[in-house]
Amino acid sequence: MGYLDDEVKHLRSVIEGLDGRLKALETKATGGAAPKKTTEEIRMILIGPPGAGKGTQAPKIKEKFSCCHLATGDMLRSQVAKKTPLGREAKKIMDAGGLVSDDIVIGMIKEELENNAECKGGFILDGFPRTVPQAEGLDAMLRSRNQTLQHAVELQIDDALLVARITGRLVHPASGRSYHTIFNPPKKDMTDDVTGEPLIQRSDDNAEALKKRLATYHSQTAPVVGYYKNTGIWKAIDASQEPGQVWKSLLAIFDGDKAKASSSIGGGILSKIAHRS
Ligand code: ADP
Ligand code: AMP
């Protein structure tokens, strides 16, 4: 045990030393200014059909960037659970696989972006915008805050793969965390790993409602992809890969940002190190 403890301590000090050296080099390369944290900058949306993996990947992005994760589906389900007038109306639409009105969901996102402290570190939107008017509403909202969207990431997957994903999905309603009976089972049957609370199956997660949700996706949300292709911030990921690979593809997109940032500070830190040696 003593040897292992010493080895861990030694490795920690090596890592801390390297970390300090890297920070010093970055500070030098940025002309003395502290390197900008990506946490302050992330503003992105995840587009994809039901079951593509938006709710699986978004919490990882939230953790990486300390930003907020806004899922309009989760917000609407919370209204349904509270049996508010909006919730009662929304439930009928959601169970039928339709879309709640643009004004309502735009209003919900606006309210969060303005008042949710977590969104100060940026945001990841999941399940919004789902129509072109919602995308236009988001653009107008960001313009009024002098902000722009950085990434519109499309999770691409064939419809045929989604039935198994959706019919096996289990969710923890309070957090929105999702599991899968086969692909991502909870540690304990029907129980959330983090809180120990019960998991449920969504009332719209059945094969029949999925057909309607997919039809809605192709007719109303597919044009949103075209909208972002035109703005130049669209990127696509193969969402049929296993979750770890999807995450790596997302990281590659974020690394692209870093490469862009470092090339704008005179060729980047690595090229500076390479020149010296
Ligand atoms: P969305 O939020 O896009 O509707 P989810 O992230 O909730 O989709 O994923 C739908 C279901 O598929 C969940 O049960 C989840 O555990 C599972 N899942 C997510 N990503 C993958 C993947 N890459 N491979 C297999 N199953 C996945
Ligand atoms: P989701 O949790 O993203 O699968 O969403 C569940 C349901 O909520 C959808 O099938 C829609 O009925 C509704 N919904 C979620 N987000 C939106 C949105 N941006 N616009 C309209 N309806 C939405």
Q: Quick one: pLDDT at residue 19?
A: 46
Cα 69–chain centre separation: 6
Q: Quick one: pLDDT at residue 37?
A: 43
Q: Quick one: pLDDT at residue 6?
A: 60
49 lines ligand 1 (CB under 6 A): no
113 in Cβ contact with 8 (< 8 Å): no
Q: Quick one: pLDDT at residue 206?
A: 96
| Distance between CA atoms of residues 180 and 169, nearest Å | 5
- 212 catalytic, yes or no? no
Angle (CA) 137-173-47 rounded to 5° is 35
| Distance between CA atoms of residues 141 and 13, nearest Å | 46
Q: How far is the CA of 75 from the centre of ligand 2 (A)?
A: 9
Could you say which of 54, 62, 91, 165 is catalytic?
54
| Distance between CA atoms of residues 171 and 180, nearest Å | 8
Q: Quick one: pLDDT at residue 29?
A: 38
Ligand nearest to the CA of residue 73, numbered in listed order: 2
Q: Quick one: pLDDT at residue 13?
A: 53
Q: Quick one: pLDDT at residue 7?
A: 60
Q: Quick one: pLDDT at residue 26?
A: 42
Q: Quick one: pLDDT at residue 257?
A: 74
Q: Quick one: pLDDT at residue 149?
A: 97
Q: Quick one: pLDDT at residue 3?
A: 53
Could you say which of 43, 62, 91, 169 is catalytic?
169
- 213 catalytic, yes or no? yes
179 lines ligand 1 (CB under 6 A): yes
Q: How far is the CA of 70 from the centre of ligand 1 (A)?
A: 17
Q: Quick one: pLDDT at residue 265?
A: 46
Order across the sheet with 151-156: list the strands. 68-71, 122-126, 42-47, 151-156, 234-238
Residues with CB under 6 A from ligand 2: 50, 72-73, 76, 93-94, 97-100, 105, 127-128, 130, 134, 213
Could you say which of 43, 62, 91, 130 is catalytic?
130
pLDDT < 70 regions, the chain: 1-40, 258-277
Q: How far is the CA of 165 from the centre of ligand 1 (A)?
A: 6
| Distance between CA atoms of residues 269 and 195, nearest Å | 42
Q: Quick one: pLDDT at residue 124?
A: 98
| Distance between CA atoms of residues 127 and 35, nearest Å | 32
80 in Cβ contact with 173 (< 8 Å): no
Q: Quick one: pLDDT at residue 260?
A: 67
